[in-house]
Amino acid sequence: MGRYFSIKDVFKIISVILAIIMLSFVLYQFSGVIDVATSQFGGNNNLKDSGLDAIARGDKDFDVDAIKNSYANRSSSMAVMETSTLRVLGGENIDMRLEMASTTKIMTALVVLENMQLDKSIKIADEAVGVEGSSIYLRKNEIWTIRDLLYGLMLRSGNDAATALAIATGGDINGFVGMMNDKATELGLKNTHFDNPHGLHSSEHYTSAYDLAVIASHAMQNEEFKNIVGCKMYTVEANETHPTYYFGNKNKLLGLYDGANGVKTGYTKDSGRCFVGSAEKNGMQLVCVVLNIYDTYNTCAVNFDRAFDNYRPVSVGKKGDVLENISLEGLNCSLALQNDLTLPLKEGEIMGLKCYFDIDGDLDAPLAANSLIGKMEFYMDNRLLFSANIVNIEDINDIGAVRKLAAYKGDWRINVENGEIKQAFGFDGSGV
């Protein structure tokens, strides 16, 4: 006699089948996560705190050599820069246009910091929920401060945080991307274009190692930005719309390199591993950009060591130091440094350094005190190394005086005795 199944038995069979299907799906997804994580962390032998590192270095199921070869078959670039002068201290293919993944968020954070109040609270828009890639898991209508979102952006690389900040700052994504590209133009970048605020793949989204180093250098001069990217752990306090969050910084260089103080990791399959690191030693703040380089942390560490060993900071002047007093239409005008000026120089370079000043030819009256009126440009072997801003100390209301200042020419002589600066600047030119 055949056996008849009750409805209860049928439901049990269906439940077992569904459980098997779900388990297979979870195992498949997990294997994909391990594979991506292996590609991101496999080459860094210093990451002792990462279980994935041991897998990547020793498990036969993961072909690390194949991953390395995939990077070798694509273009890579690197640049080391001193942040105050923007002098390049080392690099390869520094002007090559490449994707930059989540290092994009350095510009995102900079634009937000320059345009928003950090303690302002915003409501999370629907567009910022469920954004592809890395996330801090925002939910619609949650209330977050700009500050907390910035920590989620830079420490956890939240693509949803990037979207929420972009909408709050620019009105919508397109408006904010326009602000990012305007900032790139303001910084004089030639090989950068943004298409989104988070760094997900787009053929219209690219930068170069040099350009990204310039962006990071300017960002690191913002104290709030520097505090954020140097933070290893941040707590977002709970409110009536969301629980407490604890954000650990993904940037492992902070715990691996003495003097490391920032800034941002990045990875997509299209960009490869990207990273911008920063470190401060011996009175010099440096950034190192690596684009599509497999061993990002060690690459930065080696190049930081080389730069710190070969260059030393030479203090030329402080903010407000008067460089020269000149007479304009019977009025006194004092030219001064806008900021502290410390030059990263190799041993003996100070002897061959030449400096000229370039006054803006479009100055107009009235000219308020502390206006940016031009730049000092430093050359070595007729090659521009770096520049510094010049300001006027006094108000200048006479149009004739302003026109004379705009046409002023000359150069500055750095006097050195026994390899040391004895007189910061000596005037060796004349007005016209």
Question: Known catalytic residues?
Answer: 102, 105, 157
Distance CA 74, CA 316 (A): 42
Distance CA 263, CA 40 (A): 17
Query: Rounded to the nearest 10 degrees, what angle do helices 159-170 and 146-155 cross at?
Result: 140
Nearest Cα to 361, choosing from 411, 405, 412? 405
Distance CA 74, CA 76 (A): 7
Chain centre distance of CA 364: 34
